[in-house]
Amino acid sequence: MAIIITDECINCDACIVECPNNAIYEPDQEWAFSDETELSGMVTTLDGRQVDADASNEPISDEFYFIASDKCTECKGFHDEPQCAAVCPVDCCIPDENHVETEEYLLQKKAWLHAE
Ligand code: SF4
Ligand code: SF4
């Protein structure tokens, strides 16, 4: 499943550089599928949505750091554990029960993001 940042976040900025998929954004920052991935132009997500990878999407939080769940692979394929959770000083990076995904699916998502 994807990881979610809760409102316990203290906006310390420690997690953002750790994410191999650039799925973490600052409060009130627009996000795009193409940010630091191989995606560009119109693409089809693994769950069948047509999206413009270069389009700017609305910030998910204007108060705390947030994770674009479409880009979070729980670090599968890169690391043994979610790196944001590993470095977070207040343990506010937790499994997102609304985005439960299998390891196989997360690995497919990683390959999709990085065009492997
Ligand atoms: S679990 Fe990994 S891929 Fe997901 S947001 Fe955290 S650092 Fe990024
Ligand atoms: S490391 Fe934790 S507290 Fe710091 S910005 Fe990331 S989620 Fe927020």
Can you tell me the mean pLDDT for 96-115?
A: 94
Q: Domain ranges in the chain? A: 1-116
pLDDT recorded at residue 115: 83
The answer as to CATH 3.30.70.20 being correct for domain 1-116 is yes
Ligand 2: nearest atom to the Cα of 93: 7
Ligand 2 centroid–CA 43 distance in Å is: 30
Q: What is the pLDDT of residues 67-91, one digit of tens each?
A: 999 999 999 999 999 999 999 999 9
Cα 89 from Cα 86, distance rounded (Å)? 8
Please tell me the pTM assigned to this model. Answer: 0.96
Q: Which tokens go with 79?
A: 């690391």
Pick from 26, 12, 13: nearest CA to 67: 26
